[in-house]
Amino acid sequence: MVSEQPTRKVVRELRRAGFVPVRSRGSHTVYEKNSVTITIPDGHPVISPGVYRQVLKKIKEARG
C-alpha cells in the first residue's frame, strides 16, 4: 500500500527518472519525458497516495 510522500521526494524521483519540468501554473508543475506527462501539485508539502501511485505508474510507463 502506498502512503503520502513529501513533495520534494516525489520531484526528486521524477528528475532521476529523466522527467523535466515543461510548464508551471499556480501550485502545479507539468513534467514530461518521451511524450509521457504528469502534473504534480508541488505547491503542497505532501503528495497524496493516489497522486503518488499515478507518478509511479507514469515513471514505469516512460521506462518502457
0.85 exceeded by pTM? yes
Give the residue from 25, 29, 26 showing the smallest Cα distance to 40.
29
Share of the chain above pLDDT 90, in %: 89
Range of the domain at 17: 5-63
Domain of 56: which CATH number?
A: 3.30.920.30
Pick 15 or 1 by higher pLDDT.
Answer: 15
Contact indicator for 7, 44 with CB cutoff of 8 Å: yes
Domain count, the chain: 1
**What's the pLDDT tens digit per position in 6-26?**
999 999 999 999 999 999 999
Distant-in-sequence, close-in-space partners of 46: CB < 8 Å, separation ≥ 6: 4, 5, 6, 7
